[in-house]
Amino acid sequence: MKNINIEEIKTILPHRYPFLLIDKVIEVKKGEEIKALKNVTYNEPFFQGHFTNKSIMPGVMIIEAFAQATALLGAYGFEEKRSSESELYYLVGIDKARFRKSIVPGDQIIINVKFLANKKGIWKFAATAFVDSNEAASAELLTTIKD
């Protein structure tokens, strides 16, 4: 499956502006991985205070983008679509988070999320953010699904 646009993404993710952080899904390999895109603009609300003299995307927002990509992989990578409209994906843990390169306005982030394991309803993913083919951030995320 390829190219899931923002309108389709909004049918899966409950987030809306300013917290909808995935603009497009580029590719989904069913049960394996997802590649998503985030265009970073100066109009993002978090740039008003982080930082006023040098705009840098906060690490917590990068982690949130990772979490949204894991939810999309869960919805599209293992099923055709989520099983119910009330089903939500929750972030329950973060490990090995690393921030290697600042992400700034004008950057285009390619987020790659790979499925690692599912143990007792806790899904584990490896997420990496790339800017201009350079690794900017990475983390392992744990998620679960609840109705």
Catalytic residues: 50
Determine which helix (DSSP H) or strand (DSSP E) holds 101, and give its type and residue range: none
Q: Find the DSSP H helices in 3-112.
A: 6-12, 59-77
Q: Which of 141, 136, 146, 95 lies closest to 116, judged by CA? A: 141
* Identity of the residue numbered 36: A
Residue 125 CB burial class (10 angstroms; 0-12, 13-18, ≥19): buried
Rounded-to-integer distance, Cα 61 and Cα 51, Å? 14
